[in-house]
Amino acid sequence: MWSALRALGKQWSLQARVLEDHKLVREGPYRFVRHPIYSGILGMIVAGGLAWTHWIGSTIALVLFGVGTAIRVQSEEKLLREQFGAEFEDYKRNVPAVLPIKL
């Protein structure tokens, strides 16, 4: 997650937005997944669930995270598609969203 924040630099924000001089970041962890911060959060949920939580709590957390992340990813990718067009579509075709595996 820290590596992703460093790669984004000033472009990172809690609010999904595109800056005037925004660039499509494809280096660092963005080479492997389009949303590495969400990958890191997923890893923390899984690790926390294995270490401290009953499987029912872990399942609920994963479902809520999955739904929330899907909504957020759609919002962010809509902005990126509008800003970068074909460049973003190429990136999306070649780099998976959250898990570093191609389905």
Tell me the DSSP string of 2-15: HHHHHHHGGG--SS
* Any domain includes 36: no
Beta-carbon contacts of 47 under 8 Å, excluding residues fewer than 6 positions away, are: none
Q: Supply the pLDDT for residue 78.
A: 95
CA–CA dist 49, 36 (Å, integer): 20
* Any domain includes 94: yes
* Any domain includes 81: yes
Q: Put residue 28 in one of left, alpha, beta given phi > 0 → left and psi -120 to 50 → alpha.
A: left
* Any domain includes 25: no
Domain count, the chain: 1
Q: Supply the pLDDT for residue 83.
A: 92
Q: Supply the pLDDT for residue 103.
A: 65
Domain that holds residue 60: 55-98
* Any domain includes 69: yes
* Any domain includes 24: no
Based on C-alpha coordinates, what's the Rg of the chain? 15
**Number of other residues whose CB lies within 10 A of the CB of residue 29:** 21
Residue 17 above 80 pLDDT?
A: no
Of 5-9, 35-39, 78-82, 88-92, the one with minimum mean pLDDT is 5-9
Residue 89 above 90 pLDDT?
A: yes
Q: Supply the pLDDT for residue 11.
A: 83
* Any domain includes 49: no
* Any domain includes 68: yes
